[in-house]
A = this chain, B = another copy of it.
């Protein structure tokens, strides 16, 4: 194949340059860089349909579970590999479910990253999960992705420490209804208290409520 077109997106310049250099050493490719959603948009003007998108899971202007579907839809011919230091298997599951071609942890050795990129370019789906499973205490798949939009909304308010009554006022519904959502999301997440749910959601990088 000829010269490839890669875009590397990460908001940590040193890590990004490490990746770019790594790729430059091994692939015959034009490599573009972006550190924010705005810069990614710019690069997509240059390279409308890159061969590979190496994407940090979180960077300014980007929420994976919110923006990945759009991105996936916009770049149907592009191999998307998410790169993250997140070690929450449920979040990784949710990301893989969005149809990306691969997931690599930032703690992976360079050789493993190269191998993963090669495999993805050849059409494989690759998952490099973190070796040490810190989240072995939550065997459930998907977690936050399993919640309904309303439940996720309520969960965000729980993380902000609001009471059911406050959440009810905020959402313009009855406290009884909030209670239903809370009970449901607790059951879905497999925890017994709102505090557990808050910790779990915060670890998974839930966004703060408006």
Contacts and interface: CB of A to CB of B under 8 A. Distances in A.
A163 B193 contact: yes
Interface string A158-194: 1111010000000000000000000000000001111
A202 B197 CA distance: 12
A14 B13 contact: no
Given A17-B18, A60-B132, A107 B199 contact: no
Contact of A19 (B14, B110, B193, B197): B14
Nearest to A112: B13
A15 B13 contact: no
A74 interface: no
Contacts of A18: 14-18, 21
Contacts of A192: 161
Nearest to A20: B18
Contact of A161 (B15, B60, B195): B195
Contacts of A199: 159-161, 198-199, 202
Contacts of A197: 161
A39 B194 CA distance: 39
Interface in A16-63: 16-19, 21-22, 60
Query: How many copies of this protein are present in the complex?
Result: 2
A152 to B, nearest CB: 15
A153 to B, nearest CB: 16
A12 B15 contact: yes
A93 interface: no
A109 interface: yes
Given A12-B15, A12-B107, A21-B21, 17 more contacts: A11-B107, A13-B108, A14-B22, A14-B106, A14-B108, A17-B110, A85-B85, A160-B199, A161-B191, A161-B192, A161-B197, A195-B195, A195-B198, A198-B198, A199-B199, A202-B202, A202-B203
Interface of A: 11-19, 21-22, 60, 85, 106-110, 113, 132, 158-161, 163, 191-199, 202-203
